[in-house]
Structure 1
Amino acid sequence: MDKLSLLKTFSVVANEGSFTRAAQKLDTSNQLVSKYIAELEKQLDTRLFNRTTRKIHLTEAGQQCLQHANHILESVNDMESQLGQLSSEAKGLLHVSAPVSFSTLHLAGALSAFQQAHPNVSINLQLNDRKIDVIDEGFDVALRAGNLTSSSLIAKKITSIKLALCASPAYLQKYGTPSHPKDLKPEHYLEYSYVNYDNEASTLIAALKANAQKVTPKLTANNGEVLTNVAKQGEGYVLQPTFIAGEALSKGELISILEDYVPQSISLYAVYPHRKLISNKLRVFIDFLCEYFKDTPYWDQ
């Protein structure tokens, strides 16, 4: 009894929530489905379902097993598609995690263009600025902006992201234009709470961190658009990527300051598990984003 058949049966039972419906979907008997589940539980030495007379529920071990089973079955399907050349067309469902502001401002257009080019690929997009666990949370790929630490994941650069320290004309008129990071007023700092471009070699970053330790920043938020809009009202200064602040800078609503001290550009990466066979749908998705945004993205041109 091969394990793939056991895992496939288990996945269908878990998704259908019923041995009977699973048997109907697999075009087999209830007895064989029950036999396969019992054999898998025996091999794993754990109970996968809690059974009552009316319903079945996954145990905690069953929930973990389902995540692994779905990854294994999807990888096998991808392998068959690629190595057997069963289809030259990308297809299937991609689970994608991406930063909030970048997605609302720029990813929507890219996704629309991608799905026009690849209509058989569906996307489940989850927006979150925190560092998610790609494997444990079941994502095929995560888009991350910043300086990545070493990990067991594969990271492919999508595009470069410039940073800008900004303040409104009204703020600069009232408090003056700083010529050095030491001239910044720490109580006016509008701080992004998920910052991921710390560079200890940067005089500006060092000053911002030192100031934040001495004085509570005027506003701390986990959304760069909110901070940028507050800065436009003359309430302080903010360090933000140009994909957020670029429009306000071009309109003169914000002015870039201390440009000689701003850290070098960071990058937007596509991060995915190295242990998983990269599927055709994921490969074309990453390649499409690289071509769409290019190394110098449109908002910096």
Structure 2
Amino acid sequence: MDRIDAMRAFVSVVTEGSFSNAATAMQLSPQLVSKYVSKLEERLEIRLLNRTTRKVSLTEAGTHYFQHAQQILLSIDDMESKLGGFQQKPKGTLRISAPVSFALKHMAQLITDFQALYPSVNVDLQLTDRKVDIVEEGFDVALRIGQLKSSSLIAKQVAPIRVILCASPDYLKKYGVPRNPEDLKNHRYLHYSYMERSNKEEIYQWLSIESSQRDGGLSSNNGDLLVNAAIAGAGLALQPTFIASEALVEGKLVIVLPEYEPETLGLYAVYAHRKLLPHKIRCFIDFIEGYYGSPPYWDKPIPAK
């Protein structure tokens, strides 16, 4: 027996004056209302109502129980009402961790649009390419790029992330265009420090091996710097299109060895719990899903020149 339902049935019988009136008010059958009250009395081991063919009346114990039950139900209804309003209008501070380059290029408008829809939510956006511990560091959501491994966290894919090998036209004119991975031994590689190696990424394997055998390489933990270095003619960069797309469209960079493009990664929104998820987090997860388009706007075809 649901204790709250039984309590509601009892209070309704008292306030409505009869089982039939209470049944109408609760949209239940009189038999079910009577059963709820009887089960409640059995559980309490005391009679709450005196029943006759014409009316019902409270016993002394029933009077005391009615007063307390009424207050309890009013408190529950008030709490649910407040929570319902909170669900309709999410409030509080939403703490988000996001990769540096992606956030700088693609999150300002997203946060602006999100807060226009939910003005009572404050956003604390922290940028780092380090893999944060969401629970220990107090984040509500973390955006991560890669091929996520199994974990206790919940992850929803936001957008596919293409990774391309690129270089400036001037660099390729000077050093030649690679036609296959073996040709990469004659080129300089701009290495991203946080790149995770994958057996399927043949380009990355070749670049890692060959660049380690030459002097004058460049390594950095920031993709924007490496793309700018590639534009300046410093070498080949293996970078996501969300960083390189503008330079590709403007002709400052061109894709090298497109037939060997690494496996597509993903941008994921990662959060800690599925049950009892705060509404501010649920609203953000729902909002960011599909926000960037499919394919994302930075992967639109490059206009022919």
**Fold shared by both chains (TM-score > 0.5):** yes
Per the alignment, do residues 146 and 82 of structure 1 end up closer, same or farther by CA in structure 2, a change over 3 Å counting?
Answer: farther
Any gaps of 5 or more consecutive residues in structure 2? 1-78, 301-305
Where 1:85 maps in the other structure, the secondary structure is: helix
Distance of 1:149 and 1:186 partners within structure 2: 35
CA RMSD of aligned residues (A): 2.0
Where 2:126 maps in the other structure, the secondary structure is: strand
Where in structure 2 are the equivalents of 1:51-62 lying within 5 Å? Answer: none
The aligned counterpart of 1:297 is: 296
Distance of 1:258 and 1:105 partners within structure 2: 26
Where in structure 2 are the equivalents of 1:85-100 lying within 5 Å? Answer: 85-87=84-86, 88-100=88-100
The aligned counterpart of 2:142 is: 142
Contact 2:96 2:142 in 1 (8 A): yes
Distance of 2:215 and 2:272 partners within structure 1: 38
Aligned pair 1:115/2:118, yes or no? no
Deviations 1:243-295 (A, max 9, x none): 10000001100010101111121110011113773211111111111131133
The aligned counterpart of 1:49 is: none
Deviations 1:156-211 (A, max 9, x none): 10111111100000110011100111111376100111113x32022212212322
The aligned counterpart of 2:243 is: 244
Distance of 1:83 and 1:210 partners within structure 2: 61
Contact 1:98 1:142 in 2 (8 A): yes
Where in structure 2 are the equivalents of 1:1-301 lying within 5 Å? Answer: 84-87=83-86, 88-185=88-185, 188-196=188-196, 198-215=197-214, 218-274=217-273, 277-301=276-300
Report the AA paired with residue 277 of structure 1: L
Distance of 1:287 and 1:213 partners within structure 2: 44
Distance of 2:81 and 2:255 partners within structure 1: 48
Distance of 2:117 and 2:186 partners within structure 1: 48
Contact 1:191 1:217 in 2 (8 A): no
Per the alignment, do residues 226 and 153 of structure 1 end up closer, same or farther by CA in structure 2, a change over 3 Å counting?
Answer: same
Any gaps of 5 or more consecutive residues in structure 1? 1-79
Contact 1:158 1:294 in 2 (8 A): no
Distance of 1:102 and 1:124 partners within structure 2: 16
Contact 2:188 2:211 in 1 (8 A): no
Contact 2:160 2:296 in 1 (8 A): yes
Distance of 2:215 and 2:268 partners within structure 1: 32
Where 1:112 maps in the other structure, the secondary structure is: helix
Contact 2:211 2:217 in 1 (8 A): no
Moved more, 110-119 or 81-90: 81-90
Where 2:132 maps in the other structure, the secondary structure is: coil
- The structural deviation recorded for 1:300 is 1.0
Where 1:119 maps in the other structure, the secondary structure is: coil
Distance of 1:221 and 1:181 partners within structure 2: 23
Report the AA paired with residue 224 of structure 2: E
Report the AA paired with residue 139 of structure 1: F
Number of paired residues? 221
Per the alignment, do residues 260 and 186 of structure 1 end up closer, same or farther by CA in structure 2, a change over 3 Å counting?
Answer: same
Moved more, 180-189 or 247-256: 180-189
Report the TM-score when normalising by structure 2. 0.68
Per the alignment, do residues 82 and 180 of structure 1 end up closer, same or farther by CA in structure 2, a change over 3 Å counting?
Answer: farther
Distance of 2:81 and 2:208 partners within structure 1: 49
